[in-house]
Amino acid sequence: MAKRIGILTGGGDCPGLNAVLRAAGKTLLGRGLEVVGFEDGFLGVMEKRFRVLRNSDLSGILSTGGTILGTSNRDNPFAWKPRTPEFKDAANTDCSDQVVALARELQLEGLIVIGGDGSLSIADRLVREKNIRCIGVPKTIDNDLSATDVTFGFDTAVAIATICIDRLHSTAMSHHRVMVVEVMGRYAGWIALFAGVAGGGDVILLPELPYRMEVVNQTLLERSTTGKRFSLVVVAEGAKAADGDLVVNKVVKDSPDPLRLGGIGQMLVNQIEDATGLEARVSVLGHLQRGGSPTAHDRLLATEFGARAARLAMEGGWDQMVAFRGGQYASVPLSDAVRQLKRVPLDHSLITAARSVGTSFGDA
Ligand code: F6P
């Protein structure tokens, strides 16, 4: 029987997932291995929903958004309950032995997990506690995984956010308004920093640099009194005031990531209008940043990552995550991948460059 490798996409979707599936799948099939794709991430593993992938499943998907396998971001085998109505109020329990049983039943050599910190943490536990061989592929628009310099999806999110900021510029100019643009990124400000600088944001607010509202207001007022009758404020969803808290849209019970961030943009608009008398509006870019076709850069990164993950699986390089570090492709122990979130360092050269062209980070 041909060797069999499982593959799944977990967590929030991200441009480039299909490009990774295509590259990993075609590489494995080309060498005579069988590929079993689990549907909807770890939910499909728990519910035994999977299909054998053929070359035809993997054709024509390089440039497409989403994931042909589907995904889910709250199904952790180590703390899980079925998604049927009778379990609605039940507590989560450790069901990870079901993964072991299924891997045995399907005679899987191992599993390629394409995911962010949540899915890669599960993969790491499966390796350490259940002896299931895994290979990780780092995915997230947030770019917040510390063991790789870059994740696929980030470039696309930045490109989309930048296009949106450009478009908001012209309406801000026409109406002489302050436009506040809220971008994603969870507890890291990578998208806000990169898209904010690329889009020429006048104020950029990052989770890593708590802001002072009086500084933000002062910057906007100074611009309006010196002939700049509009301003663009780019705010990360995870930014917070030096004397304030994270702005949380909803606390989700039983979720590995219970804080659903969001709402800081509208809060800023209210505070700016009240304190300065300037007219302001908010645009929350939300899931537009992660839907749709990946950029060329993300297609290339995803293709390299996918092909490398497949090669690691064939060569027995299990329990590693593929990565890009210091200008080179590499693989790192899966356990390193999830140790720490990668946040924007305060001495990042882009912060320095932005400050030198007059951008305010609301901090001084
Ligand atoms: O991690 C990716 C991301 O898009 C974050 O930037 C955002 O906070 C979160 O996922 C939103 O996830 P969802 O709406 O899928 O719960």
**Cα-based torsion angle of the residue sequence 29, 332, 133, 126 in order, rounded to the nearest 10 degrees:** -130
In tens, the pLDDT along 229-276 reads 999 999 999 999 999 999 999 998 777 788 999 999 999 999 999 999
Q: Cα–Cα distance between 186 and 202 in angstroms, integer? A: 21
Distance CA 201, CA 189 (A): 14
- 């009194």: which residue's tokens? 225
Atom 15 in ligand 1: residue holding the nearest Cα: 12
Q: Given pLDDT bands bounded at 50, 70 and 90, which one contains residue 44?
A: very high
Between 74 and 242, the more confident residue is 242
Burial-class residue 59 by CB neighbours within 10 Å (0-12, 13-18, 19+).
exposed
| Residue 240: predicted pLDDT | 97
Nearest atom in ligand 1 to the alpha carbon of residue 12 is 15
| Cβ atoms 43, 10 nearer than 8 A | no
CA pair distance 23, 61, nearest whole angstrom: 10
To test the ligand 1 pocket, which listed residue (187, 237, 260) has its Cβ within 8 A of the most ligand atoms?
260
Four-point Cα dihedral 339, 345, 348, 351, nearest 10: 130
Angle of helix 17-30 versus helix 296-315 axis, rounded to 10: 40
What pLDDT score was predicted for residue 340?
87
Taking the whole predicted model, whether its pTM rises above 0.85 is answered as yes
* CA distance readout (Å), 55 to 25, 26, 60, 133: 8, 6, 10, 24
pLDDT cut 70: percent of the chain above it? 100
Would you call 94 a catalytic residue per the annotation? no
- Distance (Å, rounded) from C-alpha 306 to C-alpha 48? 24
pLDDT over 90 for what percent of the chain? 94
How far is residue 121's CA from residue 119's CA, in Å, rounded to a whole number?
5
**Mean pLDDT of the 305-314 span:** 98
Least confident of 81-95, 234-248, 283-297: 81-95
Cα dihedral 346, 348, 353, 358 in deg (nearest 10):
-20
pLDDT of residue 21: 98
Q: What is the pLDDT of residue 184?
A: 98
Mutate to test the pocket of ligand 1, among 184, 235, 250 (most ligand atoms within 8 A of CB): 184
- How far is the first Cα of the chain from the last one, in angstroms, to the nearest whole number? 65
